[in-house]
Each structure stands twice: as C-alpha cells, then as structure tokens.
Structure 1
C-alpha cells in the first residue's frame, strides 16, 4: 500500500437504508457507507473491508444496522480503506 495520509474514525448513519424496500436494504446500506466516506474523506476510490461488509449483512438483507462505527484510512493515491473501528 501507499503512504498513509489520513486516518479517521466515523459513526456512519445507515438509517436511510430503512427507506428502501426490504430486499434492498443491506445493499443500500453499503452504498450509503460508500457515499459517506467519499464525501467526508474526498476519496477517489473506497475499499470496504470484509469485516464491515459482514457487520452490515450480519442480520440479513432486511435488517442492516442503523449506524456503524468505522475507521477510514486514506492513502497517498487517493484510495480509502474502511475497516471496523475497535
């Protein structure tokens, strides 16, 4: 990986995913997370880690969490990697 430029911890609201139809809620939550990180980290590319994806999908497609706490790491090439905050 490239040099780390910035590292932040966010609590990302995913409640807008609840407005989606039942069978589209978890995918909508993933998109909401990606948009939030792009907006706040000014990222060109966002990589969502497996741990974050599994946390969103933990209760199935119908019931994603209403918020999630993540650690976003921005690299010099403009890529942002998202992991669960500990």
Structure 2
C-alpha cells in the first residue's frame, strides 16, 4: 500500500479545539505539516516517524479531519480498494 499524506498549513490544524503540539520547536501558522492516512500529523512525510506532531486518533479528531479539512484518502490508495 502506498502511504498517503496531504499538506496543510498548521493554522488549519490549530483550529481543532484539542490541538496540542510539542513545545520549543518554533512552528508558525504558515508551517506546512502533513496529515497522513492514519490521521497522525508529521512535519516531514519522508521522516515521518521522527517528526510526529500529533497521533491522537479520537472520534472528534476524525470528524474534524473529515468535515473541516476535507481529508480523505483517495479510493485507489485505500487498504480496502481492490
């Protein structure tokens, strides 16, 4: 399966009421971050395991990603595609 990532400005993700990010890394609202198919958020898609900013897959976060960010893995990349 090909991993899927979609870039967003950090300002968009900071609209989520429960958003918490690591302190001391100096990110701005204009920083591009990547939401990956498991709904975690990383700084760099190539180094994703080293740069995780968010990995709390809760129902509220899933709803926010779907309704506010319009995040959806393309059908041809979904695990259930066949």
Which TM-score tier does this pair reach, normalised by the shorter chain? under 0.3
Return the structure number with greater strand share.
1
Per the normalisation by structure 2, the TM-score is: 0.26
Higher RCO, Cα 8 Å, sep 6+: 1
Return the structure number with greater helix share.
1
